[in-house]
Structure 1
Amino acid sequence: MSCISQKDNQTSTIYEVIFNAQSRGALENISLTNNTITYKNYNTTKTYKISKNNLEQLFNLIQKLDLKTISEIQAPSNKRATDAALHASLTIKTSNESFTSNVFDDDNPPSELKDIIDLLKTFSQE
């Protein structure tokens, strides 16, 4: 989809960005591949095209992350342990590797990931 420069000056192509949130009774999956967002829950699957400007906006946010340390980001809350929130994670797949965050509450993502997740959710509602 796009080339981004990582903090260690390596260049990778992002192939997919996935937000996944689920519990025993709920599911929300948002997947971005190329310029297509796919939104899934237990009842529906919807697909949307997004603009080049929206893609650039998302990639600019991702570029601010050090993908190699995304799995070390700690969740700010733990409501998911009592089923008060969905178990959520963010995965970014590049041409070389796949980077997945720690699990966090879907309604309270780590601050480092919040803007990316909010933007993905916005895209999936267009």
Structure 2
Amino acid sequence: MKYLKIITPVVFLLMMNCAAQNKTKEFDKIAYEAQTRGSVVKLTIEGNNLSYKTYRKEGAKEVTKEQLEELKAIINELNLEEISNLKAPSEKRITDGALHAEFTIKIADKEYRSSTFDAGNPPKELKKLEDFLYKLSDVKE
């Protein structure tokens, strides 16, 4: 009986901790910005609205519930605390061979900013997110 009094709270705490880790992250805003001299691509999702801006055009469109769910799943795969430390696989942006790109993800009162990378060639952890945003916006890189 004595052991039961000790084991029960420990098991309860472990279960609560596991449940808390499985919660999905609800983002407030996702922003992608890629630019170099004379060229810019900005893609922003807030709520169920996607706004886009390039050197040639700008606009907005509504994001479906299914697309938002897929986007949440992609965000939940990321370790947001570490995206600022991700290493870019190439360095073409240094010589204007590619646009300088970065993500900013806002969840509640916290903002997560990625390291800069070549547009179209992000760190592998961010590739899925970049591809999905371009697909949603119909903007060509």
TM-score by length of 2: 0.79
Q: Let me know the Cα RMSD of the aligned residues.
A: 1.8
Q: Which runs of 5+ in 1 are unaligned?
A: 1-6
Aligned residues: 120
Instruction: Tell whether 2:105 aligns with 1:92.
Output: yes
Moved over 2 A (4+): 7-13
Which residue of structure 2 lines up, in the alignment, with residue 48 of structure 1? 61
Which has more strand, going by share of residues?
1
Deviation by residue 1:3-34 (Cα, 9 ceiling, x = unmatched): xxxx9677753100011000011000000000
Q: How big is the shift at 1:41?
A: 1.2
Q: Which runs of 5+ in 2 are unaligned?
A: 1-19
Q: Among residues 28, 31, 34, which one is paired with 2:47 in the alignment?
A: 34
Query: In structure 2, what is the Cα distance between the partners aligned to 1:12 and 1:29?
Result: 23
Which has more helix, going by share of residues?
2
Structure with larger Rg: 2
Query: In structure 1, what is the Cα distance between the partners aligned to 2:128 and 2:79?
Result: 15
Pick 1 or 2: higher relative contact order, CA cutoff 8 A, min separation 6: 1
TM-score by length of 1: 0.89
